[in-house]
Structure 1
Amino acid sequence: MKKNKISFKTNYWEEYSAENPFRAIDAFFDFEHLDYYKQSLTEAVIYSYKSKIYQQDNPSSVFVLYSVVSSFIKACYGLQQKSKKWKVNESERCETIYHLSSLTKEEFDNPFIVFQKAFEENTLEDFELFLCLIIELSLSPFAGDPYCDLTTPYIHVIKMLDAVGLITERGVEKIKKKDRIDCVAE
């Protein structure tokens, strides 16, 4: 039985359509830097509680942010599914710990844990709803209290951003069959 592939929809904001999550992540970081995404998402969340409109001079940039982060979350979902076959290379430097402070020591050692936790707690559709709600509220001229929790998905997305940044920095390698069998036996 063939698995249904998820479309990362990178063709909305990138020249090509990425076929696997690792290529989607590469396109994600080719488009902008990690700090830009974290800052923009944080600002959008803050503006969702204000009566001011986020990016009032250029609201189309908010739609682009939505498209890119939506593709990113789909790629993270794909990475979560690949976590049994891939591992992150060991860290030779510890300076990244301070830069990626949202991750615990365990998550820093194995960033795939971040995706597993995020998608155990929320579905792909929950994250899509979160993004839609953030964009809607941040572009609304009315201050309001969102009718659902924005904090938990926001924290998960920030952690996923840090985890992907770490994966990109350290690189990944495929787990050999023997290593996978040993892990299952333990």
Structure 2
Amino acid sequence: MKKIKTDLDTWFWADKKHYGLQLMETFFQFNELDVSKERLSNMMNYAVKRNSWINEDPAVIFEFYQSIRSLIRAGYLIMLKKRKWTIDTQPEKISPWVLGLLSEKEYRNPLLVFKKAFRAYTLKEFDYFLSGIVYFSMGVYENLPERNIVMPYIHTVKMLDAAHLILQRKREKKIVDKN
């Protein structure tokens, strides 16, 4: 049987050996975590408002759409590799401010975020969600999105947090390995 390769439209972002992590690193080189969350939140807010549209440059929105789309694909690739990014901490040592939307379990193992997200939605459904909020936030439309876009939004915000956490732990591991 012929092996079918999944095309993730990310061939220009990273080499084949370290696709997922390089895509995440590239995303966070151009987008800060808090700015990304705020932009995603603004897009979501304007997507569900009927008579208003987002005040940002369409080129910035489109670039963000492409980069977050690649970040979601990076999470999918990392989830497939099943590498461990866990941390051993006591429950009382984790501050609620650090967790954000993540549960303590997800904070300890950020791959759970990607597993839950891709168990609930496929890559195509995340693409549909992202293109939908871009479309509806860029203009005034009579219709609203026909699907529930709240859950994919929550999963996307959690994926942003988890990706940032994975890269942070990777940097910490490199520092410990050098010493």
- TM interval, short-chain normalised: 0.7 to 0.9
Name the amino acid aligned to 1:161.
L
**Structure 2: distance between partners of 1:44 and 1:96:** 29
**1:163 counterpart SS class:** helix
Name the amino acid aligned to 1:7.
L
**2:87 counterpart SS class:** coil
Shift in CA distance, 107/89, structure 1 to aligned 2, threshold 3 Å: closer
Deviations for 1:71-95, whole angstroms, at most 9, x for unmatched residues? 1111111111012xx2115267956
* Residue 129 (1) aligns with residue 131 (2): no
Shift in CA distance, 40/61, structure 1 to aligned 2, threshold 3 Å: same
Using the TM superposition, give the Cα deviation of residue 40 of structure 1 relative to its aligned residue in structure 2, in angstroms. Answer: 0.4
Q: Which residue of 2 aligns with 1:156?
A: 155
Q: Which residue of 2 aligns with 1:53?
A: 53
* Number of residues of Structure 1 aligned to a counterpart in Structure 2: 166
Worse overlay, 39-48 or 96-105: 96-105
**Contact 2:87 2:109 (8 Å CA) reproduced:** no
Name the amino acid aligned to 2:66.
S
- Among the aligned pairs, what percent are the same residue? 30
* Residue 88 (1) aligns with residue 85 (2): yes
* Residue 4 (1) aligns with residue 5 (2): yes
**Contact 1:6 1:74 (8 Å CA) reproduced:** no
**Contact 2:76 2:118 (8 Å CA) reproduced:** yes
Q: Which residue of 2 aligns with 1:119?
A: 118
Name the amino acid aligned to 1:87.
K
Q: Which residue of 2 aligns with 1:179?
A: none
Shift in CA distance, 90/3, structure 1 to aligned 2, threshold 3 Å: farther
Using the TM superposition, give the Cα deviation of residue 54 of structure 1 relative to its aligned residue in structure 2, in angstroms. Answer: 1.0
**1:87 counterpart SS class:** coil
**1:171 counterpart SS class:** helix
Shift in CA distance, 69/3, structure 1 to aligned 2, threshold 3 Å: same
**Contact 2:14 2:22 (8 Å CA) reproduced:** no
TM-score where L is the length of structure 2: 0.82
Structure 1 stretches of 5 or more lacking a match? 174-186
TM-score where L is the length of structure 1: 0.79
Q: Which residue of 1 aligns with 2:97?
A: 98
Shift in CA distance, 135/129, structure 1 to aligned 2, threshold 3 Å: same
**Higher helix proportion (structure 1 or 2):** 2
Using the TM superposition, give the Cα deviation of residue 154 of structure 1 relative to its aligned residue in structure 2, in angstroms. Answer: 0.3
Structure 2 stretches of 5 or more lacking a match? 174-179
**Contact 1:21 1:76 (8 Å CA) reproduced:** yes
**Structure 1: distance between partners of 2:15 and 2:68:** 14
**Contact 1:49 1:144 (8 Å CA) reproduced:** no
Q: Which residue of 1 aligns with 2:106?
A: 107
